[in-house]
Amino acid sequence: MPLRFQFIDLHFGVEDDWSDAGIERSLALEEIEECRRTSVGPSFVALIGQKYGQVPLPMKIWADDFELIRNTLMRHNGRDTRDAPLLDVWYKLDDYAVPPVYVLQTVDEVKPRPLSSVERLVLGISDGSFSWPKTRAQLLWLLKRGIELCVLQDSFSPESDCTQYLMSDLEREIDTGIVQSDDPIVDCLVFVRQISDLKNYLHAPAAARFAELQYNPVEGRHEFDEESGRCLDAMRCEKIDALLPAESIHTFDVLWRFDKGISATQHSSYLEDFCRRMRTELQQMVDCVAQAQCECNELPAFIDEVYHHWMLVKRKSEVFYGRTELLEVVKSYVRSNDTKPLIIHGEFGCGKGSLIAKSACQMPYWIVGELVTVVRYTGATRHSADIKQLVYGICQQINLVLGVDIADIPITWRDLRPYFVRLLSTFPSDKNLVLMLVDVDRLPDDEHNAHALEWLPANLNENVKLVLATGKALPHIASARLRDSLLRYENNIVRLLPEPTATCVEVFEQMLEKDGRRLTDDQRAIIGEALHACPLPLYMRFLLADAVEWTPKTVPQLPVDVPSYVIDIFDRLERRHGAVLVTHALAYISASETGVSDAEMDDLLSLDDVVLTEVYGSRAPEVRRVPTTTWLRLKVDIGYFLRRCNCDGVSLSCWDRDEFANAVTKRFLGGVRMRRETHSLMADYFMGKWSDVLQAVLPRGDAGDVSRPASSPPGGAGPPGQHTPRRPTSRPPSATYTRATIRRCRHLQRAQAEAAAGPPLGVRATDGTERAGALQLRLAPRQDLRRLAAERSRRPGARWRVGRGEARAHGVDGRAVVRRGGRRLARL
């Protein structure tokens, strides 16, 4: 079973004080939840010191909680609560949120004009200057004091969780990663560092990096902040010590060294011990998971294909609203004795996929008895992208259900087509089969005449139903024989027509309310005009993603159709994230045949000199990589363009529709130079050129000598540990590649094909010679790789190593098997 290890530092490259950056905080928590959902092994590692962290101002407060806190402060009439009106200045009611919330305003929203003396008094401005840190501290104090008074008076409802407003970012992450974990003993690790004599060095300038301090004017010295200390102790006691065994909590006691507190040289033994213990613990946790995975009975490989399509069914069914009459059409068809296929056709974005998904979910409720439902979204995976693999996979799934040997399925199209027809015609009468195929017109028509649909039977058994969804009308895809057979049954041909504008607006508001928003009257009128011009569900999907972020003051300017909406989205992405990042990140997805994982995208962006120069400019950080949140923020904003797919056990991001891929390719990957550079960099990465090698840093706009670091003086070496000369990774003269790596090698060919000038790109072939353009590679059959892996797993004393995201070579029985470093867990 292939496993991949990825270590994500959510704070790498992010400013230390991001307490008011709501986007970064939500991204961090969402990524922790994603790790919990997808990881089969360790999912969360916490590094804790003596600093609790700054408590951020909540960006939103539920209206009931805010009004209770504010009214309690108003009634208190104490000196410490006399600034309670400040809450009404900075928090404004958004009653179009569902449920209503009070939203923290920006500085520009609060003081867009010269303020009166009364307003200046409320805002705390006495000398004509405005201090956000001071105001922020006042607001935070008022919220804390109001919550304390409400708790003392037992005013909060049982459903209210007021503690969420007073958590630091550290505690939020601990709460998400450990407290909410299903099995924290197996999933989590905690490392605690204590500077034993920190209290003796509170006067040092660096002391504030390691603990919260406050100045005591009476004593004339700095002291530990008692409130932060209490919060840190409570968090460790209630959320770490109470949930994790002592073996999962590792504590290190160190002493202060020099002015910096922690020194790489003076604390080298502590740092080495910390790295060794973390590595050992993680290896042991991965070993346990790997052993458990090996002991499980291996399912057939095509199960991943079935799983992927049903995940698409789940996702698409969640966005299906209305159209009950179409569901009734499908329901009536599958419950009837009809022996003809049901054809559903409509233009791009009309909701065919969602209709099929919702129907597939309803099948167990519509059909009584034993049921087999087979769903395929053609083109969604590489095994559904051509007619031969599509039909072969359907036969595999049906044979598995019926208990028929999969090896009996022929592999040539000449024999496979009649086998498939015979399989449907001989399906047991005591069972029901529903076969649903979406976008069959996306199959390549030049292969086996797929669009003629001659590979499908014109007549079916009464217990076998076939539902086809296509973007083209029947006369444009089916053969004459099939058309003549089906056109006599008009009820079996359904065209998806646009919904009336009123229905579209009603459905849109239902979807928007589910996401926590309501429309103003002006916004509703604008939405009505837009949906009248373009009532497609895909357009509504784009519109919904934007409307969730609207405020009551937003007056949207909406594109008129789907193509213009896509262009508008691209323009906004470039304004928000920068044209360089958007261009290169989207180009990498489009250039990849199977998509890219988050780790791969981080690596590719970190190898891209143009992106790095845009991120860091002339600065030279100690670790020259893009911040982890760079890609995560962009991925959130293009989420409706992407879908998750599985390749060799790795979750990848790829385009949800061919139309999206074409639009991105045309805009961001249209130039010859861009295509050549993109494929060349991806070829270097996936072939392992920079595996365990630090890439030299080039100055802006300089493509000079890359044989030595750009920052090095002539004849000298660069800073130790920061730059090394570029050099290719050594490669054996003969290598056997898995099919996943073969797909990656296409970047070499594409880069060579796009190269208009310059030296050719070469790849070492199986005979040890240097070849340009053409690859001579030996495919290692899947069964051979499984056999070799099984032999290695039986070796006594073997240990596991987890790959890092680039291709690596491992010797197996005298041969070198190059595997995707992150796609397989290699036995050493």
Residue-wise DSSP of 53-83:
-PPPPPSEEEHHHHHHHHHHHHHH--GGGTT
CB atoms within 10 A of CB 800: 18
Which of 8-22, 89-103, 144-158, 610-624 has the lowest average pLDDT? 8-22
Q: Most confidently modeled of 221-230, 287-296, 700-709?
A: 221-230
* pLDDT > 80? residue 472: no
The pLDDT-based confidence of 762 (bands split at 50, 70, 90) is very low
Which of 161-175, 342-356, 527-541, 762-776 has the lowest average pLDDT? 762-776
The pLDDT-based confidence of 15 (bands split at 50, 70, 90) is low
> Of residues 95 and 821, which shows the higher confidence score?
95
Under 8 Å between Cβ of 210 and 47: no
What integer pLDDT is reported at residue 62 of this predicted model? 93
DSSP letter string over 715-750? T---STTT-----PPP--SS-EE-HHHHHHHHHHHH
Please give the average per-residue pLDDT across 328-349, as a whole number. 88
* pLDDT > 60? residue 784: no
> Distance between CA atoms of 814 and 792, rounded to whole angstroms?
13
The pLDDT-based confidence of 240 (bands split at 50, 70, 90) is very high
Enumerate residues 6+ apart whose C-beta is below 8 A from 380: 308, 309, 312, 643, 645
* pLDDT > 90? residue 307: no
Alpha helices in 638-692 (DSSP H): 658-668, 672-686
- The secondary structure of the chain in percent helix, strand, coil, rounded to multiples of 5, reads 50, 15, 40
Which of 18-32, 117-131, 380-394 has the lowest average pLDDT? 117-131
Give tens-digit pLDDT for 179-233.
999 899 989 999 999 999 999 999 888 898 999 998 888 888 889 999 999 999 9
Under 8 Å between Cβ of 120 and 114: no
* pLDDT > 70? residue 787: no
Residue-averaged pLDDT of the chain: 78
Which of 43-57, 675-689, 747-761 has the lowest average pLDDT? 747-761
The pLDDT-based confidence of 650 (bands split at 50, 70, 90) is confident
Phi/psi at 329 (5° precision): -65, -45
Which of 60-69, 128-137, 810-819 has the lowest average pLDDT? 810-819
Which of 169-178, 381-390, 402-411, 487-496 has the lowest average pLDDT? 487-496
Cα angle 364-365-367, degrees, rounded to a multiple of 5: 70
Please give the average per-residue pLDDT across 436-453, as a whole number. 79
The pLDDT-based confidence of 735 (bands split at 50, 70, 90) is very low
Please give the average per-residue pLDDT across 391-399, as a whole number. 92
> Distance between CA atoms of 59 and 172, rounded to whole angstroms?
14
Which of 19-23, 250-254, 465-469, 549-553 has the lowest average pLDDT? 19-23
* pLDDT > 70? residue 107: yes
Under 8 Å between Cβ of 34 and 317: no
Question: What's this model's pTM, rounded to 2 decimal places?
Answer: 0.77
Q: Which of 599, 752, 750 is nearest to 669 (CA)?
A: 750
> Of residues 695 and 690, which shows the higher confidence score?
690
Respond yes or no on whether the N-terminal peptide bond of residue 99 is cis (omega within 30° of 0). yes
Phi/psi at 770 (5° precision): -90, 125
Percent of the residues in the chain that have a pLDDT greater than 90, as a whole number: 31
Residue reference for tokens 């589910």: 514
Largest Cα span, the chain: 97
Percent of the residues in the chain that have a pLDDT greater than 70, as a whole number: 76
